[in-house]
Protein backbone atom coordinates (compact mmCIF):
# COMPACT_ATOMS: atom_id res chain seq x y z
CA UNK A 1 0.00 0.00 0.00
CA UNK A 2 1.34 3.42 -0.99
CA UNK A 3 0.17 7.03 -0.59
CA UNK A 4 -1.04 8.45 -3.91
CA UNK A 5 -2.42 11.85 -2.95
CA UNK A 6 -2.39 14.34 -0.05
CA UNK A 7 -5.05 17.02 -0.43
CA UNK A 8 -5.83 20.00 1.84
CA UNK A 9 -9.56 20.82 1.83
CA UNK A 10 -11.10 24.11 2.97
CA UNK A 11 -14.68 23.87 4.27
CA UNK A 12 -16.39 26.69 6.18
CA UNK A 13 -13.76 27.77 8.75
CA UNK A 14 -12.09 24.36 8.82
CA UNK A 15 -9.02 22.90 7.12
CA UNK A 16 -9.09 19.16 6.48
CA UNK A 17 -6.68 16.84 4.72
CA UNK A 18 -7.41 13.68 2.80
CA UNK A 19 -4.65 11.14 2.28
CA UNK A 20 -5.52 8.67 -0.50
CA UNK A 21 -3.78 5.35 -1.15
CA UNK A 22 -3.41 3.07 -4.16
CA UNK A 23 -5.71 0.53 -2.49
CA UNK A 24 -8.62 2.96 -2.42
CA UNK A 25 -8.40 3.68 1.31
CA UNK A 26 -8.71 7.37 2.18
CA UNK A 27 -7.78 8.87 5.55
CA UNK A 28 -9.23 12.09 6.94
CA UNK A 29 -7.54 14.57 9.29
CA UNK A 30 -7.92 18.16 10.48
CA UNK A 31 -5.59 21.02 11.36
CA UNK A 32 -5.94 23.00 14.58
CA UNK A 33 -3.98 26.10 13.50
CA UNK A 34 -7.33 27.75 12.81
CA UNK A 35 -6.03 31.30 12.46
CA UNK A 36 -3.44 30.35 9.86
CA UNK A 37 -5.24 27.93 7.55
CA UNK A 38 -3.68 29.15 4.30
CA UNK A 39 -0.13 28.74 5.59
CA UNK A 40 -0.95 25.32 6.99
CA UNK A 41 -2.43 24.17 3.68
CA UNK A 42 0.75 25.27 1.90
CA UNK A 43 2.80 23.28 4.41
CA UNK A 44 0.64 20.20 3.83
CA UNK A 45 1.32 20.51 0.10
CA UNK A 46 5.07 20.66 0.78
CA UNK A 47 4.86 17.61 3.00
CA UNK A 48 3.00 15.80 0.21
CA UNK A 49 6.20 15.93 -1.84
CA UNK A 50 7.70 13.49 0.66
CA UNK A 51 4.60 11.46 1.49
CA UNK A 52 3.46 10.45 -1.99
CA UNK A 53 4.81 6.97 -2.68
CA UNK A 54 5.36 6.16 1.01
CA UNK A 55 3.81 3.36 3.08
CA UNK A 56 1.01 5.07 5.09
CA UNK A 57 1.36 2.59 7.96
CA UNK A 58 4.80 3.92 8.99
CA UNK A 59 3.08 6.61 11.04
CA UNK A 60 5.71 7.25 13.71
CA UNK A 61 8.50 7.31 11.13
CA UNK A 62 6.68 9.85 8.97
CA UNK A 63 5.95 11.96 12.07
CA UNK A 64 9.63 12.03 13.03
CA UNK A 65 10.78 12.61 9.46
CA UNK A 66 8.56 15.65 8.91
CA UNK A 67 9.00 17.08 12.41
CA UNK A 68 12.80 16.94 12.21
CA UNK A 69 13.20 17.87 8.54
CA UNK A 70 13.77 21.64 8.58
CA UNK A 71 14.19 22.19 12.34
CA UNK A 72 11.39 24.80 12.21
CA UNK A 73 8.45 24.37 14.57
CA UNK A 74 5.28 26.26 15.42
CA UNK A 75 1.55 26.10 14.84
CA UNK A 76 1.57 26.05 11.03
CA UNK A 77 4.05 23.18 10.86
CA UNK A 78 2.40 21.25 13.68
CA UNK A 79 -1.11 21.87 12.35
CA UNK A 80 0.01 20.27 9.08
CA UNK A 81 1.72 17.32 10.80
CA UNK A 82 -1.32 16.83 13.05
CA UNK A 83 -3.78 16.72 10.16
CA UNK A 84 -1.63 14.25 8.24
CA UNK A 85 -1.03 12.10 11.31
CA UNK A 86 -4.78 11.80 12.05
CA UNK A 87 -5.40 10.84 8.42
CA UNK A 88 -2.67 8.17 8.55
CA UNK A 89 -4.19 6.67 11.71
CA UNK A 90 -7.55 6.71 9.96
CA UNK A 91 -6.02 4.73 7.08
CA UNK A 92 -4.38 2.30 9.50
CA UNK A 93 -7.68 1.60 11.22
CA UNK A 94 -9.45 1.03 7.93
CA UNK A 95 -6.60 -1.20 6.71
CA UNK A 96 -6.84 -3.42 9.79
CA UNK A 97 -10.66 -3.06 9.96
CA UNK A 98 -10.43 -1.69 13.49
CA UNK A 99 -11.06 1.58 15.29
CA UNK A 100 -7.93 3.57 16.02
CA UNK A 101 -8.41 3.08 19.76
CA UNK A 102 -8.02 -0.69 19.24
CA UNK A 103 -4.62 -0.06 17.64
CA UNK A 104 -3.65 2.05 20.66
CA UNK A 105 -4.30 -0.74 23.16
CA UNK A 106 -8.07 -0.80 23.36
CA UNK A 107 -10.73 1.14 25.21
CA UNK A 108 -10.63 1.80 28.94
CA UNK A 109 -14.14 3.34 28.71
CA UNK A 110 -17.06 2.96 26.30
CA UNK A 111 -18.26 6.55 26.43
CA UNK A 112 -16.68 9.92 27.11
CA UNK A 113 -18.04 12.61 29.39
CA UNK A 114 -18.35 15.89 27.49
CA UNK A 115 -18.89 19.57 28.17
CA UNK A 116 -20.97 21.93 26.10
CA UNK A 117 -19.91 25.40 24.96
CA UNK A 118 -21.72 28.36 26.49
CA UNK A 119 -21.56 31.81 24.86
CA UNK A 120 -23.05 35.20 25.64
CA UNK A 121 -22.41 38.92 25.65
CA UNK A 122 -24.16 39.41 28.99
CA UNK A 123 -24.08 37.47 32.24
CA UNK A 124 -27.80 36.79 31.84
CA UNK A 125 -27.15 35.14 28.45
CA UNK A 126 -24.39 33.00 29.89
CA UNK A 127 -26.53 31.95 32.85
CA UNK A 128 -29.31 30.96 30.46
CA UNK A 129 -26.75 28.99 28.46
CA UNK A 130 -25.71 27.12 31.60
CA UNK A 131 -29.33 26.36 32.46
CA UNK A 132 -30.04 25.23 28.89
CA UNK A 133 -27.06 22.87 28.89
CA UNK A 134 -28.30 21.41 32.15
CA UNK A 135 -31.74 20.85 30.60
CA UNK A 136 -30.09 19.03 27.72
CA UNK A 137 -28.47 16.62 30.16
CA UNK A 138 -24.91 17.96 30.15
CA UNK A 139 -23.07 17.57 33.47
CA UNK A 140 -20.39 20.13 32.61
CA UNK A 141 -20.23 23.42 30.73
CA UNK A 142 -17.19 25.17 29.39
CA UNK A 143 -15.94 27.98 27.22
CA UNK A 144 -17.57 29.80 30.14
CA UNK A 145 -15.91 33.15 30.65
CA UNK A 146 -16.52 35.51 33.59
CA UNK A 147 -15.45 38.38 31.30
CA UNK A 148 -18.22 37.88 28.71
CA UNK A 149 -17.83 37.36 24.97
CA UNK A 150 -17.63 41.05 24.17
CA UNK A 151 -17.19 42.13 20.53
CA UNK A 152 -13.56 42.69 19.63
CA UNK A 153 -14.53 45.86 17.81
CA UNK A 154 -15.38 47.52 21.15
CA UNK A 155 -12.46 49.20 22.94
CA UNK A 156 -11.97 47.77 26.42
CA UNK A 157 -11.71 49.42 29.81
CA UNK A 158 -12.47 48.42 33.39
CA UNK A 159 -10.86 49.39 36.64
CA UNK A 160 -9.12 46.57 38.47
CA UNK A 161 -11.87 46.46 41.07
CA UNK A 162 -14.55 46.26 38.38
CA UNK A 163 -12.67 43.62 36.41
CA UNK A 164 -12.16 41.21 39.30
CA UNK A 165 -15.36 42.05 41.19
CA UNK A 166 -17.65 41.60 38.21
CA UNK A 167 -15.93 38.34 37.27
CA UNK A 168 -16.38 36.88 40.75
CA UNK A 169 -20.05 37.88 40.74
CA UNK A 170 -20.53 36.28 37.32
CA UNK A 171 -19.09 32.95 38.47
CA UNK A 172 -21.35 33.03 41.52
CA UNK A 173 -24.32 33.40 39.19
CA UNK A 174 -23.11 30.56 36.96
CA UNK A 175 -22.96 28.30 40.00
CA UNK A 176 -26.47 29.33 40.99
CA UNK A 177 -27.72 28.45 37.48
CA UNK A 178 -25.84 25.16 37.43
CA UNK A 179 -26.50 23.93 40.94
CA UNK A 180 -24.15 21.12 41.92
CA UNK A 181 -25.34 18.90 39.06
CA UNK A 182 -23.15 20.70 36.50
CA UNK A 183 -19.41 21.33 36.67
CA UNK A 184 -18.12 24.75 35.63
CA UNK A 185 -15.07 24.97 33.39
CA UNK A 186 -14.05 28.62 33.72
CA UNK A 187 -12.34 29.97 30.60
CA UNK A 188 -10.08 33.02 30.93
CA UNK A 189 -8.54 33.01 27.43
CA UNK A 190 -5.18 34.23 28.73
CA UNK A 191 -6.63 37.63 29.66
CA UNK A 192 -5.03 38.15 33.07
CA UNK A 193 -1.68 39.10 34.51
CA UNK A 194 -0.44 36.60 37.12
CA UNK A 195 -1.43 38.81 40.07
CA UNK A 196 -4.93 39.26 38.61
CA UNK A 197 -5.29 35.52 38.06
CA UNK A 198 -4.44 34.82 41.69
CA UNK A 199 -6.97 37.37 42.96
CA UNK A 200 -9.68 35.96 40.69
CA UNK A 201 -8.88 32.39 41.67
CA UNK A 202 -9.09 33.18 45.37
CA UNK A 203 -12.39 34.96 44.77
CA UNK A 204 -14.10 32.13 42.88
CA UNK A 205 -12.71 28.99 44.50
CA UNK A 206 -15.71 28.88 46.85
CA UNK A 207 -17.85 28.06 43.78
CA UNK A 208 -15.83 24.89 43.11
CA UNK A 209 -14.94 25.23 39.42
CA UNK A 210 -13.70 22.02 37.87
CA UNK A 211 -10.83 24.01 36.45
CA UNK A 212 -9.57 27.50 35.63
CA UNK A 213 -8.43 27.47 32.02
CA UNK A 214 -5.59 29.56 30.61
CA UNK A 215 -5.60 32.27 33.28
CA UNK A 216 -2.39 33.80 31.89
CA UNK A 217 -0.52 33.74 28.59
CA UNK A 218 1.14 30.38 27.83
CA UNK A 219 4.48 31.94 26.92
CA UNK A 220 6.03 31.54 30.39
CA UNK A 221 5.35 28.26 32.20
CA UNK A 222 6.78 29.65 35.42
CA UNK A 223 3.96 32.20 35.54
CA UNK A 224 1.38 29.42 35.14
CA UNK A 225 3.10 27.51 37.94
CA UNK A 226 3.02 30.63 40.13
CA UNK A 227 -0.75 30.94 39.71
CA UNK A 228 -1.26 27.23 40.32
CA UNK A 229 0.73 27.44 43.57
CA UNK A 230 -1.40 30.29 44.96
CA UNK A 231 -4.96 29.10 44.38
CA UNK A 232 -7.06 26.06 45.19
CA UNK A 233 -8.54 25.50 41.73
CA UNK A 234 -7.01 23.10 39.18
CA UNK A 235 -5.27 24.95 36.35
CA UNK A 236 -6.03 23.66 32.85
CA UNK A 237 -3.80 24.71 29.97
CA UNK A 238 -2.03 23.51 26.86
CA UNK A 239 -4.32 24.27 23.92
CA UNK A 240 -1.69 26.55 22.37
CA UNK A 241 1.21 24.15 22.92
CA UNK A 242 2.56 22.46 19.83
CA UNK A 243 4.78 19.71 21.20
CA UNK A 244 5.25 17.06 23.84
CA UNK A 245 8.20 19.04 25.19
CA UNK A 246 6.07 22.09 25.95
CA UNK A 247 3.94 19.88 28.18
CA UNK A 248 7.01 18.30 29.77
CA UNK A 249 8.24 21.72 30.90
CA UNK A 250 4.78 22.65 32.17
CA UNK A 251 4.40 19.47 34.22
CA UNK A 252 7.94 19.61 35.60
CA UNK A 253 7.14 23.03 37.06
CA UNK A 254 3.74 22.00 38.44
CA UNK A 255 1.99 24.46 36.15
CA UNK A 256 -1.19 22.45 35.56
CA UNK A 257 -3.36 19.82 37.15
CA UNK A 258 -5.22 19.25 33.87
CA UNK A 259 -3.56 19.34 30.44
CA UNK A 260 -5.42 20.39 27.30
CA UNK A 261 -3.60 18.97 24.26
CA UNK A 262 -5.17 19.86 20.92
CA UNK A 263 -5.03 16.67 18.85
CA UNK A 264 -5.08 18.80 15.67
CA UNK A 265 -2.13 20.94 16.80
CA UNK A 266 0.14 18.93 19.11
CA UNK A 267 1.08 16.32 16.51
CA UNK A 268 -2.14 14.45 15.88
CA UNK A 269 -3.10 11.24 17.61
CA UNK A 270 0.60 10.33 17.83
CA UNK A 271 1.44 13.52 19.71
CA UNK A 272 -1.67 13.66 21.90
CA UNK A 273 -1.36 10.09 23.18
CA UNK A 274 2.22 10.82 24.25
CA UNK A 275 1.06 13.94 26.11
CA UNK A 276 -1.65 11.88 27.83
CA UNK A 277 0.92 9.29 28.91
CA UNK A 278 3.27 11.99 30.18
CA UNK A 279 0.43 13.50 32.20
CA UNK A 280 -0.57 10.09 33.54
CA UNK A 281 2.90 9.71 35.02
CA UNK A 282 2.25 12.87 37.06
CA UNK A 283 -1.36 11.98 37.99
CA UNK A 284 -2.52 14.92 35.88
CA UNK A 285 -5.86 14.76 34.07
CA UNK A 286 -6.45 15.14 30.33
CA UNK A 287 -9.18 17.27 28.74
CA UNK A 288 -8.51 17.31 24.97
CA UNK A 289 -8.99 20.72 23.39
CA UNK A 290 -11.59 20.70 20.62
CA UNK A 291 -13.04 23.94 19.25
CA UNK A 292 -13.17 22.47 15.75
CA UNK A 293 -15.24 20.09 13.63
CA UNK A 294 -16.63 16.57 14.23
CA UNK A 295 -13.42 15.28 12.60
CA UNK A 296 -11.43 16.74 15.48
CA UNK A 297 -13.99 15.32 17.92
CA UNK A 298 -13.56 11.84 16.41
CA UNK A 299 -9.78 12.10 16.74
CA UNK A 300 -10.05 13.36 20.32
CA UNK A 301 -12.29 10.43 21.24
CA UNK A 302 -9.48 8.01 20.38
CA UNK A 303 -7.51 9.62 23.22
CA UNK A 304 -10.54 9.69 25.50
CA UNK A 305 -11.07 5.99 24.83
CA UNK A 306 -7.54 4.93 25.72
CA UNK A 307 -6.18 7.40 28.31
CA UNK A 308 -6.80 6.24 31.91
CA UNK A 309 -6.40 9.84 33.09
CA UNK A 310 -9.03 11.27 30.73
CA UNK A 311 -11.39 13.65 32.57
CA UNK A 312 -13.66 15.40 30.08
CA UNK A 313 -14.04 16.10 26.37
CA UNK A 314 -14.78 19.52 24.88
CA UNK A 315 -17.85 19.15 22.66
CA UNK A 316 -18.67 22.29 20.61
CA UNK A 317 -22.26 23.30 20.01
CA UNK A 318 -23.70 24.91 16.89
CA UNK A 319 -22.38 28.45 17.53
CA UNK A 320 -19.03 29.95 16.59
CA UNK A 321 -19.48 32.37 19.49
CA UNK A 322 -19.25 35.55 17.43
CA UNK A 323 -22.70 36.94 16.81
CA UNK A 324 -25.20 34.93 14.81
CA UNK A 325 -22.64 32.98 12.78
CA UNK A 326 -23.37 29.25 13.09
CA UNK A 327 -21.33 26.15 12.37
CA UNK A 328 -22.42 23.55 9.84
CA UNK A 329 -24.50 20.83 11.48
CA UNK A 330 -22.16 17.90 12.25
CA UNK A 331 -24.29 15.45 10.26
CA UNK A 332 -24.26 17.79 7.27
CA UNK A 333 -20.47 17.91 7.35
CA UNK A 334 -19.57 14.26 8.03
CA UNK A 335 -21.10 10.85 8.40
CA UNK A 336 -20.60 9.16 11.77
CA UNK A 337 -20.48 12.35 13.87
CA UNK A 338 -20.46 11.80 17.65
CA UNK A 339 -23.83 12.42 19.29
CA UNK A 340 -24.62 13.55 22.83
CA UNK A 341 -26.57 10.81 24.63
CA UNK A 342 -28.63 13.22 26.74
CA UNK A 343 -26.77 12.16 29.90
CA UNK A 344 -23.59 14.19 29.53
CA UNK A 345 -21.66 11.62 27.49
CA UNK A 346 -20.99 10.62 23.89
CA UNK A 347 -20.57 6.97 22.89
CA UNK A 348 -17.13 6.03 21.53
CA UNK A 349 -17.47 4.61 18.04
CA UNK A 350 -16.13 1.18 17.09
CA UNK A 351 -16.15 1.98 13.38
CA UNK A 352 -12.83 1.44 11.55
CA UNK A 353 -10.38 4.32 11.64
CA UNK A 354 -11.58 7.46 13.41
CA UNK A 355 -15.14 6.63 12.39
CA UNK A 356 -16.13 9.69 10.31
CA UNK A 357 -16.00 10.66 6.63
CA UNK A 358 -16.64 13.95 4.86
CA UNK A 359 -19.97 14.25 3.09
CA UNK A 360 -19.41 14.34 -0.71
CA UNK A 361 -21.22 17.66 -1.01
CA UNK A 362 -19.68 19.37 2.04
CA UNK A 363 -17.18 21.47 0.09
CA UNK A 364 -19.91 22.80 -2.19
CA UNK A 365 -22.45 23.39 0.60
CA UNK A 366 -20.03 25.11 2.98
CA UNK A 367 -17.47 27.20 1.06
CA UNK A 368 -14.39 28.42 2.83
CA UNK A 369 -15.03 31.29 5.24
CA UNK A 370 -11.75 33.11 5.74
CA UNK A 371 -11.09 34.43 9.22
CA UNK A 372 -10.30 38.13 9.30
CA UNK A 373 -7.55 39.58 11.46
CA UNK A 374 -9.19 41.33 14.39
CA UNK A 375 -7.54 41.95 17.74
CA UNK A 376 -9.23 43.86 20.55
CA UNK A 377 -7.80 47.18 21.66
CA UNK A 378 -7.85 49.02 24.97
CA UNK A 379 -9.36 52.49 25.10
CA UNK A 380 -5.79 53.78 25.22
CA UNK A 381 -5.03 52.10 21.88
CA UNK A 382 -2.90 49.21 23.17
CA UNK A 383 -3.60 45.54 22.41
CA UNK A 384 -5.81 43.50 24.77
CA UNK A 385 -5.67 39.71 25.04
CA UNK A 386 -9.09 38.18 24.51
For the chain, the structural domain boundaries read: 3-98, 102-354
CA separation, residue 100 to residues 12, 36, 41, 53, 273 (Å): 27, 28, 25, 23, 12
Return the pLDDT at 6: 98
Helix (H) or strand (E) holding 86: helix 75-95
Main-chain phi, psi angles of 134, to 5 degrees: -65, -40
Q: Round the average pLDDT of the chain to a whole number and report it.
A: 96
Check residue 97 and give left, alpha or beta (phi > 0: left; psi -120 to 50: alpha).
left
| Model pLDDT for residues 95-107, shown as the tens digit of each residue | 999 999 999 999 9
Each residue's pLDDT tens digit, 45-90? 999 999 999 999 999 999 999 999 988 889 999 999 999 999 999 9
Closest by Cα among 130, 272, 131 to 187? 130
Q: In sequence order, what are the residues at sequence separation of 6 or more whose Cβ sits closer than 8 angstroms to the Cβ of residue 292?
A: 14, 30, 32, 34, 264, 316
Q: Examine the pLDDT at 322 and tell me if it is beyond 80.
A: no
Q: What is the pLDDT of residues 340-356, one digit of tens each?
A: 999 999 999 999 999 99
Confidence band (pLDDT; 50, 70, 90) for 157?
very high
Angle, CA of 86, 90 and 91, to the nearest 5°:
120
pLDDT value at position 132? 96
pLDDT band at 42 (very low <50, low <70, confident <90, very high): very high
Q: Over 90: is that where the pLDDT of 26 sits?
A: yes
pLDDT surpassing 90 at residue 320? no
pLDDT at 325 over 90: no
Q: Among the CATH numbers 3.30.420.10, 3.10.20.600, 2.60.120.470, 3.30.390.10, which is that of 3-98?
A: 3.30.390.10
* Tens-place pLDDT, residues 306-319: 999 999 999 998 88
Asked if the domains 3-98 and 102-354 are classified in one and the same CATH topology, the answer is: no
Checking if the pLDDT of 121 tops 80, the result is yes
In whole angstroms, what is the distance from residue 51 CA to residue 3 CA? Answer: 7
Is it true that domain 102-354 has CATH number 2.130.10.10?
no
Per-residue pLDDT of 165-188, as tens digits, reads: 999 999 999 999 999 999 999 999
Active site residues: 189, 289
pLDDT of residue 288: 98
Has residue 283 got a pLDDT over 80? Answer: yes
pLDDT above 90: residue 149: no
Q: Give the per-residue pLDDT at 107.
A: 98
Amino acid sequence: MRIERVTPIFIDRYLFVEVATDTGLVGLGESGAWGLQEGTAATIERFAEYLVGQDPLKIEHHWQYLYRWTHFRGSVVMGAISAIDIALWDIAGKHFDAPVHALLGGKVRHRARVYSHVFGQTTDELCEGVADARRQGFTAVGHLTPFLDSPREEPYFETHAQKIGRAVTAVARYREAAGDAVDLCIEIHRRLAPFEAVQLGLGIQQYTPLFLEDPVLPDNVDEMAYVASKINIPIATGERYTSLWDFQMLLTRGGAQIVRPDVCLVGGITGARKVAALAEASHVGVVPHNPLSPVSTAACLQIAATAPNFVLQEFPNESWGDGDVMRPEPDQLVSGAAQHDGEGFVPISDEPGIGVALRPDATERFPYAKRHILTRLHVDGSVVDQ
